[in-house]
Amino acid sequence: MISSVFSWLGDGANWSGPDGITHRLVQHLEYSFGALVFVLIIGIPLGLYIGHTGKGGVAIAGVANALRALPTFGLLLYLVIAYSGNLPTDWIYLGPALFVLVVLGVPAVLSNTYAGVQNVDPAARDAARGMGMTGMQVLWRVEVPNALPLIISGIRSSLLQIVATATIAAYVTLGGLGRFMIDGLSQRDYAQMAGGAVLVGLLAVALDLVMAVIQRYVVSRGITGRYALPAASADVVAAESSVSV
Amino acid sequence: MINYLKNNPDNVSSWFFTHLWMSVLPVVIGLIIALPIGWVASRYRWTYPPITNLAGLLYTIPSLALFILMPSILGTKILSPVNMVVALTVYSLALLVRVVADGLNSVAPDIRAAATAMGFSGIGRFLRVDLPIAVPVITAGLRVATVSNVSLVSVGALIGVPQLGSLFTEGFSRYIPGITLLGILLCLALALVLDALIVLGSRVLTPWQRAVAKR
């Protein structure tokens, strides 16, 4: 069983052309990063605002938890059936797919950004104010650098969830690596199915490593010492855990 | 939506209960396995980084991919429910190992010292002092694991295991939004009820938290 998977992956013919692995991989990355851009545009400013002002934190935690319970696959199919008549032809499937991926990705970025800013040592914030910094200066020079480890880990888990879930886009006739799993299933071709699964798994692990490297080099060295002891509060557990479909 | 429910009550209720056990069982098994491993990671500090890194790596693998790869690892049939239960157990375990270790680490050293002074040691201290104090952190992890399992199980409809996710695919193939919506609402209801039960359980297990809050 396993050797047939490797021979499928090793067959050059499976890599080229519009149905080939290379093109499907590019599509998968397009969906994922396309959705991630919207996630960042929505999640980061909102998270910074809530963390900085302290307004609406409870509401956001509630919404983020409720969104976790929303079955992404069901939402995608529902949106396609219910709104396909109202969308331009190119967007009938792509629109709902991107929307679902954004809905999936926002909570991790939003709640981590908010938790990161909120968890900044109050003494550091007070000291910054005492030095005469304005609210904006406190935000950009103290709170954001201190919150950066959590913000980036939020982006990291959000990206992983999106990449994992982008596979189900194939069910509604879109491309991406999920194509191999869905087609393999309907053609009873286990090698193709498992080959697709291996590729998505490798992609997720590779992107996670890239994000780990980014996290290491972007975060100020004065702050990384903070992570020597594992954080253990219910908030942080909730903020750092993610779902991958 | 209502009509569908009226015409197919047996299907829907059997899918609901399949969905229920497929979401809960992996968390229960995962917790049972995670407790000793989490204890090791918290008791012997040098094991914490390798254990949590391995758990993190397992958690990175997309679940649909894991469902599909299970038959080649376990030798089961592609449509067997065992694949999903094992895959979801792996996820729950990966999440809970870290949560258990972090929860046990959150026990303050002076509480440990006091317990030791009162004559608690070894397994007795673990079960009667450390574990109860770690309950709030562990239940936070249980909530995440359970609620996400409800959503992950529904994806199993793609590989043909009938449960509430079957309402999604049936609604899609017949192009009737109501059927899919029914599936979404039942999934949400299931997730919220399970979440509430865990919160309730956590409250019952930690009466001292409310005693402190009242003061």
Q: Contacts of residue B102 in chain A, CB cutoff 8 Å?
A: 230-232, 237
Per-residue pLDDT, averaged over B160-177, amounts to 90
CB neighbours (10 Å) of residue B169? 21
Cβ burial, residue A201 (10 Å; 0-12/13-18/19+): buried
Report CB contact under 8 Å: A244, B159.
no
Q: Contacts of residue B107 in chain A, CB cutoff 8 Å?
A: none
Which of the residue ranges A164-173, A196-205, B75-84, B193-202 would you say has the lowest mean pLDDT? B75-84
CB neighbours (10 Å) of residue B212? 8
pLDDT tens-place string over residues A85-114? 888 888 889 999 999 999 999 999 998 999
Best mutation target, A78, A162, A215, to test chain B (most B CBs within 10 A)? A78
CB neighbours (10 Å) of residue A205? 14
Give the number of A-B residue pairs with CB atoms closer than 8 Å.
Answer: 179
B145 — phi, psi (to 5°)? -65, -45
Q: What chain B residue is nearest to A193 in terms of C-alpha separation?
A: B68
Q: In the prediction, which pLDDT does B8 show?
A: 81
ipTM for this model: 0.86
- Write out the DSSP string of chain A: -HHHHHHHHH-GGGTSSTTSHHHHHHHHHHHHHHHHHHHHHHHHHHHHHHHHH--SHHHHHHHHHHHHHS-HHHHHHHHHHHHGGGS-TTHHHHHHHHHHHHHHHHHHHHHHHHHHHHTS-HHHHHHHHHTT--HHHIIIIIIHHHHHHHHHHHHHHHHHHHHHHGGGGGGGT--STHHHHHHHHHTT-HHHHHHHHHHHHHHHHHHHHHHHHHHHHHS-HHHHGGGGSPP--HHHHHHH-----
Per-residue pLDDT, averaged over B67-94, amounts to 89
Count of residues for chain B? 215
The domains of chain B, with CATH numbers, are 2-204 (1.10.3720.10)
B105-134 residues touching A, CB cutoff 8 A: 105-106
Residue B32, CA distances (Å) to A151, B38, B39, B135, B142 in order: 32, 10, 12, 14, 12
Per-residue pLDDT, averaged over A134-159, amounts to 91
Per-residue pLDDT, averaged over A35-62, amounts to 89
How far apart are the two ends of chain B, measured CA to CA in Å? Answer: 49
Confirm if A84 and A52 have CB atoms less than 8 A apart: no
pLDDT tens-place string over residues B28-67? 999 999 999 999 999 898 999 999 889 988 888 888 888 8
Per-residue pLDDT, averaged over B93-120, amounts to 90
- For residues B214 and A141, the model is more confident at A141
Q: In the prediction, which pLDDT does A1 show?
A: 67
Which of A198, A224, A229, A197 minimizes the C-alpha distance to A212? A224
Confirm if B39 and B104 have CB atoms less than 8 A apart: yes
pLDDT tens-place string over residues B5-19? 878 888 899 999 999
Alpha helices in chain B (DSSP H): 2-7, 9-43, 48-60, 63-74, 81-105, 109-117, 122-125, 131-155, 165-174, 177-205, 207-214
How far apart are the two ends of chain A, measured CA to CA in Å? Answer: 24
- The kind and range of the H/E element at B79 are none
Confirm if B70 and B76 have CB atoms less than 8 A apart: yes
The domains of chain A, with CATH numbers, are 2-240 (1.10.3720.10)
B84 touches chain A (CB under 8 A): no
Best mutation target, A81, A181, A211, to test chain B (most B CBs within 10 A)? A81
Measured in angstroms, the CA of B94 and the nearest CA of chain A are apart by: 11
Which of the residue ranges A2-11, A111-120, A168-177, A216-225 would you say has the lowest mean pLDDT? A216-225
Residues A114, A123: Cα–Cα separation, whole Å: 18
Residues A183, A19: Cα–Cα separation, whole Å: 11
What's this model's pTM, rounded to 2 decimal places?
0.86
Report CB contact under 8 Å: A82, B59.
no
Report CB contact under 8 Å: A205, B61.
yes
Cβ-based neighbours of B78, under 8 Å, separated by 6 or more: A185, A190, A193, B68, B71, B159, B160
Q: Find the CB nearest A238 among B140, B152, B192.
A: B140
